Each structure stands twice: as structure tokens, then as C-alpha cells.
């Protein structure tokens, strides 16, 4: 078993709760079994107040708590820490963690001592979570949350709801119907299927004993520090009623289901890490069938729900890659076998939660979870609903419209260096649903936390359809998801990132299960460019030759077993000869575990198809196998098919092609990336992905309507051919830039006529410092790692053009020729060349009033004339810069500036000078200049490489660049292999630059000697060039994630050719020794080394998860 490294990145996601952090208190718990006896725990006598604080110690395996206690006592000094007894139902079973209290004065040394023990994985602080449900009678929970914590309300009453972007109070104009009738549950009831013998776990606020609406409350367990098993809030009872209620006014779907109520929240809606860990372990140990989690969140706050080793010999990057394509190749790994308790001690949270949920589903527990109430915003999926092995549920109203509150996809784990997956999986009615009250009677609630138990109730009912003796041979998280998504009814209006497979259809799913056989499948099973709007955004822009690869990320569902493998590389089978114009490269999960994997397609049209117009159709097929099930002797095999129907057009002219820079975006997580508009106080983090198809999706549609074609670059700026694009569009970027990127962009604009449009954001170090908050979890201050945009880095990029932004934070309304606009926390322009057109307006400078959480409510802000919009022609190219991106971002937009963006693009791409922007009154007779030492500077107290894909990373073109530059430094630089010729460029000779019309001295020009800046603890020194380009080292070093196929002397290798290269397998085994097969870019796997004797089985609580040996 390999030791673990600490992953210094937070992946965008979950706590299984909505929470703020606070100091710990004394957890205790109890349970009531069928005999009605109440078991109340003895309060622990360990002080967790004053100078003592609780910590969770996680072990590398399951043992009885007493054994863990003896192990720690024998191997650690006795002073400074105390064991805390956890008297709850899980104490009867082996556990994988301990709860201890540590003297604050001894924390650093003791945490280090704990971490050095061989059987200890890591140590992290116990966290306190508080959840708020938006109820009419309660204070708005969002106003109560602490700074820095994303807060997602999961349900609310029928009086109304608001999330700062919309408000609705409309009552249904139709008489309410039973939710069960809308899905036809009566037809299954009439056949004797009522959820009998199905163990339903409900993680919520509990339920009261002898509630008249329930006939089969099997067990109530209390995991909190309150001496009650009752639900005193009503949410847990309501959820249980939707699932299994039998009151005639609010019927549930599975009235005979066995209800196991896990009370994990107190009456004050408070929970703790250890409560959830024990409750999850208990669910595994007692063999739950279905688990409903009507709560979720995108935050990273803690390290709960761990099993990061899980016996798998892989790195944190591998975990991400197992789950979803593509792995974030820019993530760095720092050494260390245990957690260091500093401001980055939450970094493992995302990985840990993934593992605990994976452990649950690997134990054949079907998890159903709400995707969140952050709609109608895109890129707002909550975790764990966004995980592929979890059934993620969105909400619709009775008119089959996506509920405005329902969160939208895509998943954002994979970006900025890849593409997200389709979520939710299905949608169900989630507005004004009737359910049970605390004691008696019915009420209505709305939200995805209401839609989630609708699906959980349907799942319980479907599970009971199969005989109890054979259920576990057929049903599992994958087979149930197959039945739901294949049976769902696709809605006519919403797209795939709004509705997933469509509206839940109980009867169709019932028919599928009646005839089910163990198999693997792909979801979505078809990508159809002619099916709009469902296939948005793909159907909005056809394919064409010369474009960046279009990435489609599908999920493999393996109903054959918890573990599976791709038997051989997927194959593209075109329906006719025209299909040979399509070149497909593929990435996929070599190991499919638990139950699911990914299949990523990278699609390009070959150069010979540059004038083709029409459809390309065919199938991508992939063979999956799993070890034999019980009683079987041969592996299970299945062939999955993904149908493609792609629209292709002739390559558009350069002037209509725009390239969107995704590579230099940093979203929250991995760090405290602040919001772009400082007047948005209830959502202070930038977590929606900043992608064309998430929070910039409206802008994307506008550009398409205007006749532009927009492509995405997820690799450095050296990885695109500037001669193919009219404009490079850079919006709200937070990362640094390689020196090679700065040099190439200068040449692209001046010599090759590339247009450049930049939308910046605020950046002010003093403001960033005043925005900090104290994080109780890490016991440290959190300060933004950058501003709304990384202005110092942008200024370096724009320096060759004489352009720079300042550190003012400007706000206010202004008008250009009658067109009203709003400037929301934007930057000012402080350097601009002579002859350009510079627009200035009188705006409030909030940076002078001090940056606090209510910064924009401070009176007395000065109003100053500042330059915010500039347009200039430099050499053969044109540049337009603007200091605010909020007017393009649909998340918190006040007014849009799409009209301005279109005029800027018409200028940079088509040389069209709109008279509104180009008047003599704004033309600069003299250059606007500010001393270099007065420009915004970087923070000097952090190591930016923790968050950056550039700083201290190797420059390399990734799999979202053109195929011909995969694994190289890009156009104009040395190419891997035997001097492959790149289109439009002369062949590199193995030593020179290979760049037309560019010399080393040209590139060195204007970059000066300011390339390396030491910033205290960190540095912005980029790997790559040393000195000048004229001294460029010609060797190319590849990391373990490089595409080894690019070493071959071929123009490209797509799926039709991969299968013929079987002789390469031994070579790849050698090349990837010590590297999980999921990391080989070629997709080839050492099949001979895979375990073939793993059976599908439930895990014994003593074990970790499956071990891959």
C-alpha cells in the first residue's frame, strides 16, 4: 500500500451538508430499535473547550475502537491528548477513525506525532456544520452564514423562494395531485409491490416514534449530542413521508419500505464531522439498500468521510481521473504522509468525500442526492449529487418546466483543463410537493431536497419488484441508474445540463428492470447535433476542419460488477465513407470503479473535410468486462455503444472565429478565489467554473446568434495557430503566463494580425487583505489568493503593447451614446498607447473606503474620472480592453454589455470601427503612462504555485489542443518525435524555433529583465526558458501524463488505428511502471496485470475498500 501525498487543490464540491464552521461541542448519540428501547449515550468527560480542541485521527483500516485506542496509547506520549469515547450505534462495529482532543499549545507537535504512526492516515480538526432551510418563518439563512462559506438551501415552503437572482410566489392554478399518481405508482401497488423488505436510510433531522403516517419505522438512530430521537424541525419527517408515507392526503411511493432514520442534525440544525462518519459507517455495516441525502453543497471545508487510501495504489490525480475526464494535469502534489495543519489543511476534503461516498456505493448502497437549489445559474451542481456513482436529482414543476431553483450542470471538476459531465441524472417534480408534518397532517415544500426523496421513493418501490433472494445479484447503483436514465422521458425544452436524461418515469423503469440483465452502458448514449435544444451547447455550433477538438464526456455505467475494465481501445465505426473525415481521440477509465467510469471523446474534422457540409453518423463502441459473479466461471462482458450524429460545415473565415482562453482560469476551489463583484455579499466565492457553457452560457449564445464561432483553448497560448482566429477572447482570468506565451502573443498580434479582447476585474491587495476571514476548521486566516482577476499577470502579458490596468475598484453607472451600462467592481486602465481610443467615466472608487464584507455600503466613496475602455491598433492586430467582466457573467450580472462585446469583436476581428466607440474626442494624443513601480503588485505572502497551472509547471499542450501539438510546447516550438510538420509552419529542425517571421531577438524584445519576480515564500518563475529564447534548451521533458502516442512518427493516431498497435503493450507496461493505467494517455492498459479474481461482493466493515494489487 503506497503512502499518500497531500493534494494541494480543492476540487469543486461537497459537503454532504450545507454548513458554516464553528467550534466543536460534545457529540453523543443514541438509537431506538424495534423494541422501542431508547439507548442514550453517556456524555464524554473530555473538555473540548478552552485550550482543548477536537481532532479526528483516521486509520488505514477498520478495527474495534478499543484496539485503536490501545494502539495510540502505546505509541504516543500520554500528555497533551485525550481519547474521546463515542457511544453511538456504530460503536458495536469496527471503525476507521478516532476522536481525540488535543491541547492547543501542543497541537503542531502532537499532530505531527500522530501522522508519523504507520497505521494513521492523517489528522484533521473536527468541524461543526450548521444547515439552514429557507422557510417563510425563518431568518434568511444566507444572511446568517459566515464569510467565505458557500450556502445552499435545499428546501423551502410554498410561500416563496429567492436566491438573489429571482423570486417566485406564484401558486399553482391547478388542483394538487398526489405525487404518486403522477408517476403511476398505483399500478405497481396493485401488483403487490410496495417497497417491502427494502432498507431505506434517511440522513436528516430524524422522525418521531409512532408517527401515524408510517407503518414500518424499523430503526431510529441519533448521532447528535441531544437526548432525543424525534424530529423537531420537520424536514426529516417530510422526506420520509414522500418516500414511504401512507396518509391519503400525502402518500409516499413505498409505504412498506423499512425506514431507518439517521438523525444527524440537532434541533439547531448543527452537525459534526464525526457524527456523519459514524453514521455512514453504520449504514455500511447494517447493509442499507438505499440512502437519501436531501442535503448537499459545493464547499470543501473539512476532511470527513475518508477512505483516501482505500487500498488503491494511486495518487489523488488518479482518483480524479477515475471519476471524470480529464484529470487536472496542472495539479501539483506536495510530499507528506500526513496532514499539515495550516491554512491549506482542507485540501484533501474533496478527495476524502469522494472516497467515503465511493465506499458506500461500493457496498451496493444506492445513493440518491439533490443537486442543489442554486438555479437558474449554470455550473452550480452540489456534491455528492455530481458524482457519477450517485443518482443526482434536479427539480421540475407540474408543467414539466425545469424549476427555476434547480441547479444546472455541467460538472465543474474537470475544468479549466477539460470538459464536464452531464448532470443531473434525472429530474422529478420538486415544487409544492405534499409530505408529512412532524406529528400529523400534511404540508407542501419545494426544492431539490423534495425532488430527491421522490426519486428515492421510486427507487425503493423498484427494488421491491425483484425477489429479495436475487436482488443483490441484479440491483446495484449502476443497474438502478441504467433503469432510471433509460426509462426517463426527455422533456422538449430543456437541455442536457438542465434535465439530464429527462423526467423520471416509474413505469418505464419498471419494465426495464423486469427484463434486466447485467450489462454496461454509456450515458448519455447519443450525441445528436440535430437535436436542439437538448444537445446544447453541441448543437449550437457545428464541427469544422481546423477547430480545437470538441470534447464530449460521457459516463460508463457498469451493471455487471463493482469493478470493471475496458477490454480494448474504443473503436469509431462510421456509417459511411464520409465518417472517415472525423478524427477521434479517446480517453477513458481503464479501471471502472465503483460501478462507473468515464469515456472522453476528442473530435476533430480532418483537413480534407474543410469544404464538407453535411452529417457524419456512426457509433463509438467499447467492450467492458467484469470478474465473474458468484457461481459464474467466466468474466462478464458487454459492448457499449455511443451513437454520434454530428453536423459539419465548411471551415468559417478567420474573421468569424473566436478563441476563448479557458486555460488561465482558476476557480474556487482550489483556493480562496473571490467573487468578481464585491457588492454580491451572499456568494463571495468564484465557483461556477467561468466556462463558456456554465456562467458565460448566455454570452456564448449571443456570440453564436451574432454569427461568430467560439472555440475553447484549455492549453497555454503557444498551443493555437493564430492565423486561424480573428480574436483571442480573455475574460476574468486569474492565472499567470509563461514567458513563451507572452512572446508568442506579441508576435501573433503584431505580425500575424490576431485580434485581442481582454475583460479584466478588480485587483487591490489592501482590499484582499481586508476581505480575509478566520476559518475555524484550519484555525487560520483566509485571504484571497488573487483579486477578481490576476491584474499583475495581465499587465505582464499586455506590457509589449503598452497597456496596463490599475488597482482602483470602480463602481457605478455610465452611458455610451445612450446605451446604459453598469460597472461592478472593475479595474481602471492606467497605461495605454498614443493613438488609441480611451473612454473615461466618473465612477466611485471603493478601494479608498476600505474593503470589508459590506464594502459597497460604506458612505463617502469618492467619484473619480477613470479610463475603463480602450481600443487600439498595434502592428497588424487590434486590441480592445475593458476593466470589468461582470456584465458578461450571468451569475451576478446587473446589466449586460453584450452590445459592447460585439462592437469590440467587430473591431478586432473584422476591422469595423463603430462610430459610437471611435470618436476624435476619445483618441489619445499622448500615451497614458503610470510608473511601473506604481502598478498593482502580487501578494508576497503566499506560494501561488499551489493554485496555478503555470507557476512551477512545465509548458505543454494538453488534450484539448489540436491533436498535432499534443505533448509538445506548441506552435513554433520544438515538436516531439521526428520533426512532425505542423500545418502552416515549417518543420522544426530539432534545434531551432521553427517559427515563421520570428527570431529569437524579436521575442526577447520588450520583455526586459523582469521575468522572474521573487514573492517572499513563493515565486512566479515559470519553468521553460532560461534567460532569453535565443538560449532555449531544445530538449522536451514530459510528465507522466503525456501522450506517448505523440512520440510516434505519425501525423495522428485515432481510434481506427489504435487497435492495430498491440505490439506496443509491453513497451507501455514498461513506460508506465508505477503509474496507474488510467494515467496513460493512449488509453492502452496492461490487461495482463489486472486482477481477474475479484468478485462482486459487499465489503466487510473490517476492510477498507477494494484493494487493487
Partners of 822 in beta bridges: 813
Give the cell for residue 193.
409491490
Helices (H) and strands (E) in the chain, counts: 22, 45
**Residues 423 and 393 sit within 8 Å (Cβ to Cβ):** no
- Tell which residue, 628, 622, 630, 620, has the closest CA to residue 597: 622
Judged by DSSP in three states, 498 sits in helix
- Other Cβ atoms less than 10 A from the Cβ of 1062: the count is 10
**Torsions phi, psi of 427, nearest 5?**
-120, 150
**Residues 758 and 883 sit within 8 Å (Cβ to Cβ):** no
- Cα 949-950-955 angle, rounded to 5 deg: 105
Q: Is 906 a catalytic residue?
A: no
CA gap 885, 686 in Å, rounded: 13
Hunting for cell 506496443 — which residue is that?
A: 1064
CA gap 244, 896 in Å, rounded: 47
Options 235, 697, 752, 839, the catalytic residue: 235
**Residues 747 and 995 sit within 8 Å (Cβ to Cβ):** yes
CA gap 32, 391 in Å, rounded: 29
CA gap 664, 475 in Å, rounded: 43
Give the containing element (helix H, strand E) for 461.
helix 448-463
Give the containing element (helix H, strand E) for 323.
helix 316-323
User: Which DSSP state fits 873?
Assistant: E
Judged by DSSP in three states, 543 sits in strand
Options 271, 449, 821, 945, the catalytic residue: 449
CA gap 510, 463 in Å, rounded: 10
Query: Regarding beta strands 366-370 and 391-396, do their DSSP bridges make them parallel or antiparallel, or are they unpaired?
Result: parallel
Hunting for cell 418505464 — which residue is that?
A: 508
**Residues 129 and 17 sit within 8 Å (Cβ to Cβ):** yes
Half-sphere exposure of 136 (CA within 13 A, CB side): 9
Q: Give the contacts of 33 (CB within 8 A, at least 6 positions apart).
A: 219
**Residues 253 and 195 sit within 8 Å (Cβ to Cβ):** yes
**Residues 466 and 517 sit within 8 Å (Cβ to Cβ):** no
- Tell which residue, 725, 610, 753, has the closest CA to residue 661: 725
User: Which DSSP state fits 293?
Assistant: E
Half-sphere exposure of 333 (CA within 13 A, CB side): 15
Describe the chain by its helix, strand, coil percentages, rounded to 5.
25, 25, 55
Give the cell for residue 804.
496596463
Options 44, 96, 113, 204, the catalytic residue: 204
Whole-Å CA distances, 91 to 31, 117, 122, 275, 1105: 12, 23, 21, 12, 20
Q: Is 235 a catalytic residue?
A: yes
Q: Is 204 a catalytic residue?
A: yes
Catalytic residue numbers, as ranges = 204, 235, 449
Amino acid at each position: 500500500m503506497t503512502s499518500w501525498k497531500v493534494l494541494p487543490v480543492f476540487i469543486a464540491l461537497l459537503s454532504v451538508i450545507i454548513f458554516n464552521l464553528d467550534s466543536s461541542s460534545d457529540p453523543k448519540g443514541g438509537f431506538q430499535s424495534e423494541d422501542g428501547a431508547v439507548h442514550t449515550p453517556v456524555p464524554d468527560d473530555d473538555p473540548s473547550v478552552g485550550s482543548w480542541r477536537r481532532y479526528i485521527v483516521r486509520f488505514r483500516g477498520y478495527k474495534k475502537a478499543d484496539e485503536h485506542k490501545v494502539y495510540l496509547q502505546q505509541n504516543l506520549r500520554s500528555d497533551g491528548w485525550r481519547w474521546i469515547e463515542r457511544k453511538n450505534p456504530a460503536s458495536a462495529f469496527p471503525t476507521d477513525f478516532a476522536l481525540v482532543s488535543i491541547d492547543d499549545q501542543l497541537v503542531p507537535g502532537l499532530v505531527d506525532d500522530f501522522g508519523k504512526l504507520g497505521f494513521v492516515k492523517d489528522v484533521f480538526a473536527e468541524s461543526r456544520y450548521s444547515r439552514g432551510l429557507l422557510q417563510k418563518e425563518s431568518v434568511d439563512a444566507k444572511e446568517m452564514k459566515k464569510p467565505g462559506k458557500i450556502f445552499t438551501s435545499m428546501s423551502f415552503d410554498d410561500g416563496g423562494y429567492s436566491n438573489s437572482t429571482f423570486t417566485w410566489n406564484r401558486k399553482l392554478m391547478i388542483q394538487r395531485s398526489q405525487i404518486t399518481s403522477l408517476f403511476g405508482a398505483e399500478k405497481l401497488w396493485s401488483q403487490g409491490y410496495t417497497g417491502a423488505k427494502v432498507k431505506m436510510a434517511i440522513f436528516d433531522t430524524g422522525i418521531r416514534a409512532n408517527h401515524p403516517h408510517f407503518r414500518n419505522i424499523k430503526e431510529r438512530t441519533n448521532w447528535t449530542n441531544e437526548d432525543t430521537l424525534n424530529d423537531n424541525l420537520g424536514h426529516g419527517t417530510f422526506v420520509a413521508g414522500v418516500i414511504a408515507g401512507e396518509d391519503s392526503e400525502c402518500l409516499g411511493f413505498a409505504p412498506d419500505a423499512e425506514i431507518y432514520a439517521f438523525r444527524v442534525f440537532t434541533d439547531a440544525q448543527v452537525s459534526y464531522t464525526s457524527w456523519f462518519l459514524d453514521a455512514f459507517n453504520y449504514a455500511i455495516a447494517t447493509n442499507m439498500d438505499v440512502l437519501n441525502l436531501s442535503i448537499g453543497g459545493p464547499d470543501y471545508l473539512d476532511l470527513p468521510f475518508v477512505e483516501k487510501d482505500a487500498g488503491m495504489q494511486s495518487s489523488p490525480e488518479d482518483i480524479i481521473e477515475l471519476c471524470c475526464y480529464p484529470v487536472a494535469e496542472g495539479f501539483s502534489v506536495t510530499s507528506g504522509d500526513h496532514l499539515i495543519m495550516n491554512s491549506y489543511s482542507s485540501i484533501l476534503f474533496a478527495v476524502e468525500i469522494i472516497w467515503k461516498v465511493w465506499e458506500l456505493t461500493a457496498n451496493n448502497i444506492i445513493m440518491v442526492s439533490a443537486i442543489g437549489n442554486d438555479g437558474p445559474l449554470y455550473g452550480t451542481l452540489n456534491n455528492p449529487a455530481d458524482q457519477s456513482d450517485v443518482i443526482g436529482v434536479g427539480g421540475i414543476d407540474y408543467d414539466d418546466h425545469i424549476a427555476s431553483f434547480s441547479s444546472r450542470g455541467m460538472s465543474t471538476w474537470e475544468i479549466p483543463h477539460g470538459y464536464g459531465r452531464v448532470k443531473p441524472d434525472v429530474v422529478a417534480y420538486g415544487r409544492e410537493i405534499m409530505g408529512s408534518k412532524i406529528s400529523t397532517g400534511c404540508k407542501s415544500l419545494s426544492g431539490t431536497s423534495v425532488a430527491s426523496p421522490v426519486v428515492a421513493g421510486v427507487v425503493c418501490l423498484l427494488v421491491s419488484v425483484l425477489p429479495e433472494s436475487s436482488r443483490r445479484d441484479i440491483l446495484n447503483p449502476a443497474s438502478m441508474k441504467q433503469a432510471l436514465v433509460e426509462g426517463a422521458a426527455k422533456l422538449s425544452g430543456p437541455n442536457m445540463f438542465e434535465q439530464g436524461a429527462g423526467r423520471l418515469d416509474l413505469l418505464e423503469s419498471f419494465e426495464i428492470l423486469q427484463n434486466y440483465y447485467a450489462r454496461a452502458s454509456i450515458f448519455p448514449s447519443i450525441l445528436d447535433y440535430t437535436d436542439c435544444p437538448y444537445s446544447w451547447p453541441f448543437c449550437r455550433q457545428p464541427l469544422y476542419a481546423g477547430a480545437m477538438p470538441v470534447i464530449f464526456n460521457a459516463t460508463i455505467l457498469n451493471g455487471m460488477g463493482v469493478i470493471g475494465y475496458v477490454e480494448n481501445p474504443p473503436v469509431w465505426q462510421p456509417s459511411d465513407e464520409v465518417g472517415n473525415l472525423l478524427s477521434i481521440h479517446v480517453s477513458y477509465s481503464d479501471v471502472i470503479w465503483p460501478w462507473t467510469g468515464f469515456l472522453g471523446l476528442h473530435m476533430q474534422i480532418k483537413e480534407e473535410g474543410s469544404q464538407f457540409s453535411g452529417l457524419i453518423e456512426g457509433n463509438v463502441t467499447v467492450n467492458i468486462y467484469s470478474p465473474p459473479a458468484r457461481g459464474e466461471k467466466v468474466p462478464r462482458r458487454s459492448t457499449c455503444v455511443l451513437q454520434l450524429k454530428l453536423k459539419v460545415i465548411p471551415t468559417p473565415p478567420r474573421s468569424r472565429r473566436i478563441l476563448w482562453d479557458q486555460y488561465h482560469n482558476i476557480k474556487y476551489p482550489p483556493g480562496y478565489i473571490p467573487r468578481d463583484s464585491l457588492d454580491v455579499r451572499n456568494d463571495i466565492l468564484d465557483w461556477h467554473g467561468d466556462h463558456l457553457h456554465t456562467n458565460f452560457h448566455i454570452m456564448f449564445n449571443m456570440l453564436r446568434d451574432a454569427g461568430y464561432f467560439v472555440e475553447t483553448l484549455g492549453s497555454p497560448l503557444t498551443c493555437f495557430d493564430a492565423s486561424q482566429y480573428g480574436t483571442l477572447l480573455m475574460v476574468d482570468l486569474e492565472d499567470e503566463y509563461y514567458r513563451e506565451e507572452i512572446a508568442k502573443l506579441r508576435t501573433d498580434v503584431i505580425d500575424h494580425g490576431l485580434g485581442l479582447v481582454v475583460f479584466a476585474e478588480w485587483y487591490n491587495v489592501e482590499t484582499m487583505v481586508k476581505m480575509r476571514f478566520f476559518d475555524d476548521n484550519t484555525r487560520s486566516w483566509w485571504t484571497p489568493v488573487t483579486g477578481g482577476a490576476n491584474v499583475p499577470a495581465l499587465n505582464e502579458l499586455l506590457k509589449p503593447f503598452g497597456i496596463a490596468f490599475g488597482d482602483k475598484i470602480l463602481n457605478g453607472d455610465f452611458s455610451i451614446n445612450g446605451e446604459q451600462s453598469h460597472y461592478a467592481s472593475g479595474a481602471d486602465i492606467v497605461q495605454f498607447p498614443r493613438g488609441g481610443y480611451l473612454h473615461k467615466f466618473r465612477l466611485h472608487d471603493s478601494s479608498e473606503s476600505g474593503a470589508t464584507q459590506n464594502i459597497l455600503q460604506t458612505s463617502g466613496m469618492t467619484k473619480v474620472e477613470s479610463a475603463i475602455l480602450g481600443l487600439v491598433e498595434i502592428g497588424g492586430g487590434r486590441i480592445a480592453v475593458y476593466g470589468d467582466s461582470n456584465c458578461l457573467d450571468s451569475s451576478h450580472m446587473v446589466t449586460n454589455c453584450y452590445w459592447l462585446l460585439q462592437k469590440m469583436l467587430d473591431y478586432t476581428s473584422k476591422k469595423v470601427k463603430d462610430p459610437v466607440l471611435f470618436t476624435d474626442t476619445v483618441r489619445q494624443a499622448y500615451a497614458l503612462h503610470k510608473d511601473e513601480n506604481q502598478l498593482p503588485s502580487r501578494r508576497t505572502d503566499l506560494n501561488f504555485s499551489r493554485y496555478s497551472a503555470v507557476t512551477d509547471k512545465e509548458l505543454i499542450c494538453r488534450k484539448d489542443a489540436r491533436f498535432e501539438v499534443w505533448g509538445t510546447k506548441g506552435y513554433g516550438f520544438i515538436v516531439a518525435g521526428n520533426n512532425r510538420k505542423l500545418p502552416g509552419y515549417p518543420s522544426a529542425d530539432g534545434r531551432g524555433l521553427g517559427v515563421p517571421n520570428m527570431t529569437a531577438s524579436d521575442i526577447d524584445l520588450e520583455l526586459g529583465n523582469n521575468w522572474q519576480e521573487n514573492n517572499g515564500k513563493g515565486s512566479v518563475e515559470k519553468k521553460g526558458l532560461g534567460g532569453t529564447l535565443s538560449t532555449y534548451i531544445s530538449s522536451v521533458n514530459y510528465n507522466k501524463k503525456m501522450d506517448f502516442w505523440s512520440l510516434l512518427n505519425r501525423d495522428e493516431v485515432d481510434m481506427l488505428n489504435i487497435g492495430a498497435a498491440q505490439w506496443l503493450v509491453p513497451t507501455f507496461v514498461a513506460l508506465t511502471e508505477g503509474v496507474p493505467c488510467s494515467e496513460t494517455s493512449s488509453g492502452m492498459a496492461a490487461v495482463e496485470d489486472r486482477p481477474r479474481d475479484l468478485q462482486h461482493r459487499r465489503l466487510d466493515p473490517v476492510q477498507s475498500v477494494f484493494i487493487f494489487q
